[in-house]
Structure 1
Amino acid sequence: MNFITDAAIKAVKELYNTDITADAISLQETRKEFEGQLTIVTFPFTRFSKKSPEQTGTEIGEYLKANVNEVSAFNVIKGFLNISIADDYWLNTLYNQILSADFAEPQYNGQKVMVEYSSPNTNKPLHLGHIRNNLLGYSVAQILAAAGYEVIKSNLVNDRGIHICKSMLAWQKFGNGETPESSGLKGDHLVGKYYVIFDKEYKKEIEALKAEGQTEDDAKKNAPLIKEAQLMLQKWEAGDEEVISLWKTMNSWVYAGFDETYKRLGVDFDKFYYESNTYLLGKDIIEEGLAKGVFFKKEDGSVWIDLTEDGLDQKLVLRADGTSVYITQDIGTALLKYNDFGMDKSIYVVGNEQDYHFKVLFLILQKLGKADTNSLFHLSYGMVDLPSGKMKSREGTVVDADDLMAEMEHTAKQRTEELGKVEGFSEEEKSALYHTIGMGALKYFLLKVDPKKRLLFDPNESVDFQGHTGPFIQYTHARIKSVLNRAGVDFTERTGVNTLADEERELIVLLNQFPDIITQAAEAYSPAVVANYVYELAKAYNKFYHEHSILQAEDEVSKKFRLQLSAASAKVIKKGMALLGIDVPERM
């Protein structure tokens, strides 16, 4: 509200003969226990006024009330000036902005950003950690697009390396030609099955060698299976046709499985990168960095960067035999992505166990002159835990994404039927609703928490129609749509209402915040900002709904106004949830 800031600047000038800038005005949302919508912190002005914070606040408040039509009242609590904005202002805001078709629509800002997320390995299915990763990446991409960025959603697939060869070798030795079709398993689950088989058989060989007298380390190196896997990797890197053919076949199974999981989860990508195409990148950049003095060569021929002045350590970027390390590939891939899209920002959604890696990568790119400090961001997130015994995974160690989604839909079905919210639904409609509620519960629970925090995900708690949950917000939307469907109304024509009840005013104030919430969430790369805002909006609507009759309002003018307010609430709830990748049902 720039007019309040401008008026406060004039107040300080006229009352205390002092020029200040907008930066000196600390404007906040008024705390709920106090009257008003906006609060000015008056402590900084006492050095001009030579009076107490309370006296200063009272003088500025009186000035604003006398000189600003939109200010209807004020109160001062210690050093805080709480300002009440006139109902006419909020009604104008509702009709001129909130109810307009372009409210909170993106205005392109000329900036392009890439959000890289998912980054799966092609030797196993997606798991709970991948779910948080995918939901964060997709939601951040949605929020940035809503904030006016051109967004590219990318996925760097780890489709090569010794771990991939382990699955391939185990299938070759123990698979008997099994396929997704013959086994009835999704392709990613089938390949993951053989990764587990490799590990079991490998451990048997290690134990056998230890029984023969070898040490643990020697047994791990000398086990026939690991030697075969290493040989297979060498053959892959040499382009052996038989190995490449098997690799392509098994990867195709995995990709089909991933596609199914992504679709069910409701995420997608604009561009896929594959490590099999990028693992050799970066070597030329190392030569360039050596010439610039960014890197240095040790006596054995290995190439390093010294980051001790940056609070880190020395980091290997090229082995003595000239082969790449992981950071080399990441440098090359970062430049490949930039050459492809020329984005202004690149966001990497990766768990916090990789914090150090990304500090190193970003520093190297900056020292090479390939990026500045604002163009790279690691969206680091914490792990997700489950209450023990709530869910069993396919392998017994990791919670499988498909199993978790199926469990969520089952829980949503049970809870919805218990509450009798599917009367009159066909079986197809019920199935769609259970999916919508189950996915909404899962996504909301994971996204309402700040990404940096580790969280405990309780599937049962997440499917609660009364708590701080996705289903509560979804049910609120369905409730509003039910009211609207029973009454046709022009949602843009102004009514004769000119005074607002507290609950009506609170709703308009909250609705008006939505564009700023999008901006805040985009700046913080935090879906939690949107998630918690939509929850507060749903709570405020339910309070309004319980306090004021809508269809049985005291007069037609009030009825129409409350329907318009309901329509605006439904629109913003739907838009807000869409930024989280969550659908809202039209009826429940």
Structure 2
Amino acid sequence: MTNSIQQTLIAHTIQAVRELYSADIPESQVTLQETRKEFEGHITVVVFPVTRFSKKSPEQTGNDIGEFLQRTVPAISAFNVIKGFLNISFADQYWIALVNKKLIDASFGIFPSNGKKLMVEYSSPNTNKPLHLGHIRNNLLGYSVSEILKAYGYDVVKANLVNDRGIHICKSMLAWQKYGNGETPTLAGLKGDHLVGKYYVVFDKEYKKEIDTLKAQGQTEEEAKKNAPLIMEAQAMLQKWEAGEEEVIQLWKTMNGWVYEGFEKTYKQLGVDFDKFYYESNTYLLGKDIIQEGLDNGVFFRKADNSVWIDLTDEGLDEKLVLRGDGTSVYITQDLGTAQLKYDEFEMDESIYVVGNEQDYHFKVLFLILKKLGKPWAEGLFHLSYGMVDLPSGKMKSREGTVVDADDLMTEMIETAKARTEELGKTEGLDEEERASLYNTIGMGALKYFLLKVDPKKRLLFDPNESVDFQGHTGPFIQYTHARIKSVLRKASYNESIALGYPADLSVYEQDLIQALSRFPEVLEASAKEFSPAQLANYAYELAKLYNKFYHEESIIKAEDDTVKNFRLHLSAIAARIISESMRLLGIEVPERM
């Protein structure tokens, strides 16, 4: 339903209350919603708030307002009242005009620039291991939110802050030095990130052996963890890195180089990209000037051991360390500095951090500190907090080598798509290259859609087999619907320049489809405002379902006359365009044929 008809209904409902009951109802109390499927109608006015003015029952009030609206709004063809709900139906001329004046235009649903710049920071991988299933959700969310916000009119900068320093990378480096025998990605036949991740797992196994040995010698677990030779060597390596020792720096550059090559391949397969990379090795010393600024203006205070803190107890939090007593940074220090760096470089109106919900407290503190420091841009900061991803076999584990690897999962998805597609016989007439491309499109579409259709805040159980279902609430179902529409258009030799006629009357299936198509801009707007691709994903599914119902109930190519045929072909072409655009904003390709 277009905003214009909603605005018309709201305005006329306010007028109805004024003329019928001599009262003024605030616009905020006029509630419209889509009519529930079990009732006749297209849009519903909730009447209950009006009864305090009418002094009548909800049914009588609904009938009063329904009669008034039918007299004053030409588009309304009928109404019915169910308790306190006024269900309104629109005339065929309204739907035809909607197609003719709005939907047929290729620019329908395209928002003009709003003149605002926004940064979306996502991915943020560690360089000691490959990307895993959790990273996939992060990357898909970040990419899709970026594309949705672009479509909504923002100038979007996609940023990636790479965690390329610290004890974690030193663990992989040390294990490779000790046990690697000069192994390289080429020699091992492994992607670089997989090779480095292999040595992270090796470190952990050897470290545990040393802990067990020390415990057997009488040390407590805590003592053994601190005194194990491997962890002490890793800490010494980190100190050498921070001191700029050439041999360590060179090894760090080599192994990180392997990782970046691996990440690049994973990002390409995922279909995500970035405009700007930040590296923690360049930003970890930032923030100290901000700490001094906060000390000077009384936002921070120094304790006896020289450490610097902020008191957030008035905000229901606690005291937070922002600089150690020896002058070294903690995470919040560098995050303060990086936030300032990003703003200085891009001057964004808003900045979104796509990070898992285990960091909720950290971002609450970060944003609060920046506001207390008087940073005007801090009001535009937002943490897009998302839930973890589980598999039917249980929660993912890290370091033990049982993590659900992103590359392996994507390969498995493509293989599953291949098996399912061949089983259903949907590759007829395609050569080998076209089939391989189709399997990739379906497999990746299944993975992406399944992860994006759920509200980002919710924890998610990902079932690879369920996701590749051509009949369920899945990406492949929507992709197959798009291919079906394209097949219809090809068979009819459809040309968008053919005349758009006016059928004598529309079926309920045509009306429902037009109504759903007209909702695209409002769904896109809601997805953008709430940073939620799930709304757009679920809209694409509902639209595909409605098209399939229309397809099964109405003849298209064999319609009773050319006017009806051409109208239905135009409707089909619009549906294909909006399904394709909705899926594109989710980072999902749709095939032309299956």
Name the TM-score, length of structure 1 as normaliser.
0.98
Question: Aligned partners of 2:290 and 2:356: how far apart in 1?
Answer: 27
Equivalent position of 1:235 in the other structure: 240
Pick aligned residue for 2:126 from 95, 112, 121: 121
What does residue 525 of structure 2 align with? 519
1:31 is the counterpart of 2:36: yes
Find the aligned partners of 2:201 and 2:116 in 1 and give their Cα distance.
44
How far apart, CA to CA, are the structure 2 residues paired with 1:496 and 1:25?
34
1:180·1:186 contact (CA, 8 Å) conserved in 2?
yes
Sort the Cα spacing of 1:408 and 1:92 in 2 relative to 1 into closer, same or farther, 3 A: same
Match of 1:338 among 343, 355, 364: 343
Aligned-partner Cα distance in 1 for 2:198–2:52: 71
TM-aligned CA deviation for residue 489 of structure 1: 3.4
Residues 368-377 or 399-408, more deviating: 368-377
Quote the residue 1:568 is aligned against. Answer: 574
Quote the offset at 1:366 in angstroms: 0.8
Query: Counterpart amino acid of 1:236?
Result: W
SS for the counterpart of 1:449 is: coil
2:198 corresponds to which residue? Answer: 193
Counterpart contact for 2:201–2:399, Cα < 8 Å: no
What's the counterpart of residue 587 of structure 1? 593
1:27 counterpart SS class: strand
SS of the equivalent of 1:479 reads: helix
Select which of 226, 231, 240 maps to 2:231.
Answer: 226
Shift of 1:581: 0.5
Offset, 1:106? 2.6
Match of 1:421 in 2: 426
TM-superposed deviation, 1:210: 2.1
Match runs of 1:489-568 below 5 Å: 489-491=494-496, 493-568=499-574
In structure 2, C-alpha distance between the alignment counterparts of 1:395 and 1:426, rounded to whole Å: 42
Is the CA contact 2:140–2:448 (under 8 Å) kept in the aligned structure 1?
yes
Q: Is residue 149 of structure 1 aligned with residue 154 of structure 2?
A: yes
Match of 1:308 in 2: 313
Q: Give the superposition deviation at 1:104.
A: 0.9
Q: CA deviation at 1:428?
A: 0.8
Structure 1 range deviating more: 201-210 or 438-447:
201-210
| Paired residue secondary structure (1:7) | helix
Q: Answer yes or no: is the 8 Å Cα contact 2:500–2:570 preserved in 1.
A: no
User: Do 1:91 and 1:498's aligned partners in 2 also have CA atoms closer than 8 Å?
Assistant: no
Correspondence list, 1:309-328, <5 A: 309-328=314-333
The alignment partner of 1:349 has SS state of: strand
The 3-state SS of whatever aligns with 2:79 is strand
State how 1:402-441 maps to structure 2 within 5 Å: 402-441=407-446
SS in 2 for 1:554: coil
- 2:138 equivalent among 128, 133, 136: 133
Give the superposition deviation at 1:394.
10
The Cα shift of 1:389 comes to 8.6
Kindly report which structure 2 residues correspond to 1:387-402, keeping only aligned pairs within 5 A, or say none: 387-388=392-393, 396-402=401-407
Q: Which string of whole-angstrom CA distances, capped at 9 and with x for unpartnered residues, describes residues 2-55 of structure 1? A: 111121122122112223343231111111111111111111112222212211
State the Cα deviation string for residues 160-186 of structure 1 (Å, max 9, x = none).
001101111111111111111111100
Asked if the contact 2:500–2:563 (Cα under 8 Å) also holds between the matched residues in 1, the reply is no
Correspondence for 1:458 = 463
Matches within 5 A, 1:168-207: 168-207=173-212
C-alpha distance in structure 1 between counterparts of 2:413 and 2:399, whole Å: 16
What is the distance in 2 between the residues matched to 1:41 and 1:206?
Answer: 67
SS in 2 for 1:185: coil
Distance 1:286 1:373 in 2: 16
Identify unmatched segments of 5+ residues in structure 1: none
How much does 1:371 deviate? 4.3
Separation in 2, partners of 1:65, 1:220: 77
The offset of 1:490, in angstroms, is 4.1
Query: 1:126–1:400: 8 Å Cα contact kept in structure 2?
Result: yes
Aligned counterparts of 2:384 and 2:509: Cα–Cα separation in 1: 37
Give the match for residue 289 of structure 2.
284
Using the TM superposition, name which of 21-30 and 68-77 deviates more. 21-30
Letter in 2 for 1:351: G
The one-letter amino acid paired with 2:349 is: D
Please report how far the alpha carbon of residue 120 of structure 1 lies from its aligned counterpart in structure 2 after TM superposition: 0.3
* Superposition deviation, residue 146 in structure 1: 1.1
Seen in structure 2, the aligned counterparts of structure 1 residues 427 and 391 have a Cα distance that, compared at 3 Å, is: farther
- Rounded to whole Å, the distance in 2 between the matches of 1:234 and 1:393 is 25
CA distance in 1, matches of 2:265, 2:495: 42
What residue in structure 2 maps to residue 2 of structure 1? Answer: 7
In 1: Cα distance, 2:450 partner to 2:180 partner: 39
Q: Deviations over 1:279-306 (max 9, x none)?
A: 0011110111111111111111111111
With normalisation by structure 2, the TM-score equals 0.97
Output the CA distance in 1 between the equivalents of 2:494 and 2:468: 33
Trace 1:473-484 onto structure 2 (pairs within 5 A): 473-484=478-489
Q: 1:565, 1:573 → 2: CA distance? A: 12
- Matches of 1:378 and 1:496, distance apart in 2: 49
Alignment of 1:6-85 (within 5 A): 6-85=11-90
Q: CA deviation at 1:215?
A: 2.2
Equivalents in 1 of 2:12, 2:90: separation in Å?
A: 13
Greater Cα shift, 383-392 or 498-507: 383-392
Moved more, 484-493 or 420-429: 484-493
- CA distance in structure 2 between the aligned counterparts of 1:396 and 1:503, rounded to whole angstroms: 52
> Quick check: 1:393–1:403 contact (8 Å CA) kept in 2?
no
The alpha-carbon deviation at position 552 of structure 1 amounts to 1.2
Matched with 2:3 is: none
After TM superposition, give the deviation of residue 390 of structure 1 in Å: 12
Alignment-mate amino acid for residue 563 of structure 1:
L
| Aligned equivalents of 1:217, 1:211: Cα separation in 2 | 13
What fraction of aligned residue pairs are identical, expressed as a percent? 72
Q: Secondary structure at the match of 2:404?
A: coil
Q: How many angstroms apart in 2 are the aligned matches of 1:151 and 1:345?
A: 10
Cα distance in structure 1, aligned partners of 2:325 and 2:25:
61
Contact 1:394 1:400 in 2 (8 A): no
Output the amino acid matched with 1:343: M
Contact 2:350 2:377 in 1 (8 A): no
Which sections of structure 2, spanning at least 5 residues, go unmatched?
A: 1-5
Report if the CA contact (8 A) 1:349-1:380 is conserved. Answer: yes
In structure 1, how many angstroms separate the alpha carbons of the residues matched to 2:210 and 2:368?
43
1:351 aligns with 2:352: no
> Is the 1:391–1:404 contact (alpha carbons within 8 Å) kept by the matching residues of 2?
no
Q: Secondary structure at the match of 2:131?
A: coil
**CA–CA distance in structure 2, aligned partners of residues 198 and 403 of structure 1:** 22
User: What is the CA deviation profile of residues 488-515 of structure 1, one whole-angstrom value per residue up to 9, with x for unaligned ones?
Assistant: 3343632131421000000000000000
Distance 1:66 1:104 in 2: 31
Deviation, structure 1 residue 393:
10
